[in-house]
Amino acid sequence: MKAIVIDSYGGPERMQLRELPDPRPSAGEVVIDVVCAGINPVDWKIRDGALRGYYDWPLPLVLGCDVAGRIAALGPGVAGFAPGDPVFACTFPVVPGSGAFAEKVAVPASAVAPMPKRLDFAAAAGVPLAALTVWQSFYDVAGLAAGDTVFVHAAAGGVGSFAVSIAKAAGAYVAGTVSAGNADYVRGLGADAVIDYRGQDVVAAARRLVPHGFNIVLAAAAGDALAQSLLIAKPGGIAVSITGEFDAASATAQGVRTAWVGMEANGRQLGLIAALIDAGKVAAPPTAVFPLAEAARALETSKTGRVRGKLVLRVR
């Protein structure tokens, strides 16, 4: 099979399109014929070597953490899937060294779910990692419920788009930060209000919207967003980071609970997300599609930090 491989950590020049042996499914795994692979910032963070020490995968490494495709083979002990089934999955961090930027990928069946019927493969490939991050932030950690007020930093990105959509589906009031050019896009996802983080005082604008502070703040941007989150959340509310650490002393002073979420692959939760998509309650963000051979260009596009929605590689 063809795959995007790195032999050493570094820039886009390290990414090679190479022939590798097809993966075979171990017990509890499925092999997926990849149709599209989703791109996430973690892909270039892995490639650059920024996650060394956290994840010590052996090199060479096949990049790619999100997949949509068809079941090609089942390993021993796998039930509930059949060859040809359209499925999607997050492969991070459950498949060391075997990534989705390839014609085939072996994935634990526990990370796989049937693909939403209303999505094509490109749109489905953009869902798993970003949507699971939001699901785990909002439901496993923050306890999202109808009537909550939710603030989303970086609302136009992959995670932010799902955060707005999933929070609205839950019956929350939702506001988030955007640059001016993405305001209409994020309002179109259902956001009740947007704040231009470049042109406005974000904390003051958030306080005008919800004077006593938001129940839940998701920091899907780093930098200023972390400190701002502690001032935007209400005392007793929760600020969830997926990007960096909050200042513990400031959090205590504000009376705001804090949490870090490191997304984990989860086929059961992905199935719940698929059901919301098929019910028309959660929207999959728009995708820009690159051919597999242009994976390096796609990752450099992701690294600009300016992507609206999702980037996807078409593999077949």
Ligand X SMILES: NC(=O)c1ccc[n+]([C@@H]2O[C@H](COP(=O)([O-])OP(=O)(O)OC[C@H]3O[C@@H](n4cnc5c(N)ncnc54)[C@H](OP(=O)(O)O)[C@@H]3O)[C@@H](O)[C@H]2O)c1
179 interacts with ligand X by CB under 6 A: yes
165 interacts with ligand X by CB under 6 A: no
Q: From 238, 237, 243, 239, select the one nearest 262 (Cα to Cα).
A: 243
302 interacts with ligand X by CB under 6 A: yes
Least distance from ligand X to the Cβ atom of residue 231, Å: 15
178 interacts with ligand X by CB under 6 A: yes
Segment contacting ligand X (CB under 6 A): 11-19, 22-30, 220-228, 275-283? 220-228
286 interacts with ligand X by CB under 6 A: no
**CA atoms of 230 and 213, how far apart (whole Å):** 10
301 interacts with ligand X by CB under 6 A: no
263 interacts with ligand X by CB under 6 A: yes
97 interacts with ligand X by CB under 6 A: no
Among the listed residues 171, 281, 305, 316, the single contact to ligand X using CB under 6 A: 305
284 interacts with ligand X by CB under 6 A: no
**CA atoms of 9 and 244, how far apart (whole Å):** 22
Q: From 6, 2, 34, select the one nearest 296 (Cα to Cα).
A: 6
**CA atoms of 267 and 25, how far apart (whole Å):** 17
Least distance from ligand X to the Cβ atom of residue 45, Å: 6
**CA atoms of 225 and 18, how far apart (whole Å):** 40
Opening angle at CA 296, ends 38 and 197, nearest 5: 65
Among the listed residues 159, 169, 194, 256, the single contact to ligand X using CB under 6 A: 159
> How many other CB atoms are there within 10 angstroms of residue 127's CB atom?
30
Kindly tell me which of 31 and 287 has the beta carbon lying closer to ligand X.
287
37 interacts with ligand X by CB under 6 A: no
177 interacts with ligand X by CB under 6 A: yes
Q: Which residues contact 48 (CB under 8 A, 6 or more apart)?
A: 9, 10, 11
133 interacts with ligand X by CB under 6 A: yes
290 interacts with ligand X by CB under 6 A: no
Q: Is 270 exposed, middle or buried (0-12, 13-18, 19+ CB in 10 A)?
A: buried
Least distance from ligand X to the Cβ atom of residue 226, Å: 10
Kindly tell me which of 213 and 285 has the beta carbon lying closer to ligand X.
285
38 interacts with ligand X by CB under 6 A: no
**CA atoms of 145 and 263, how far apart (whole Å):** 20
153 interacts with ligand X by CB under 6 A: yes
Helix (H) or strand (E) holding 207: helix 202-209
**CA-based torsion, 52, 27, 69, 89: positive or negative:** negative
Helix (H) or strand (E) holding 184: helix 183-188
35 interacts with ligand X by CB under 6 A: no
Segment contacting ligand X (CB under 6 A): 55-63, 71-79, 80-88, 177-185? 177-185
Kindly tell me which of 74 and 221 has the beta carbon lying closer to ligand X.
221
229 interacts with ligand X by CB under 6 A: no
HSE toward the beta carbon, residue 75, CA cutoff 13 A: 16
**CA atoms of 248 and 49, how far apart (whole Å):** 28
266 interacts with ligand X by CB under 6 A: no
Q: Which residues contact 45 (CB under 8 A, 6 or more apart)?
A: 51
313 interacts with ligand X by CB under 6 A: no
**CA atoms of 259 and 257, how far apart (whole Å):** 7
262 interacts with ligand X by CB under 6 A: yes
Residues that bind ligand X (CB under 6 A): 40-42, 129-130, 133, 153-154, 156-160, 177-179, 182, 197, 220-221, 223, 225, 242-243, 261-263, 302, 305-308
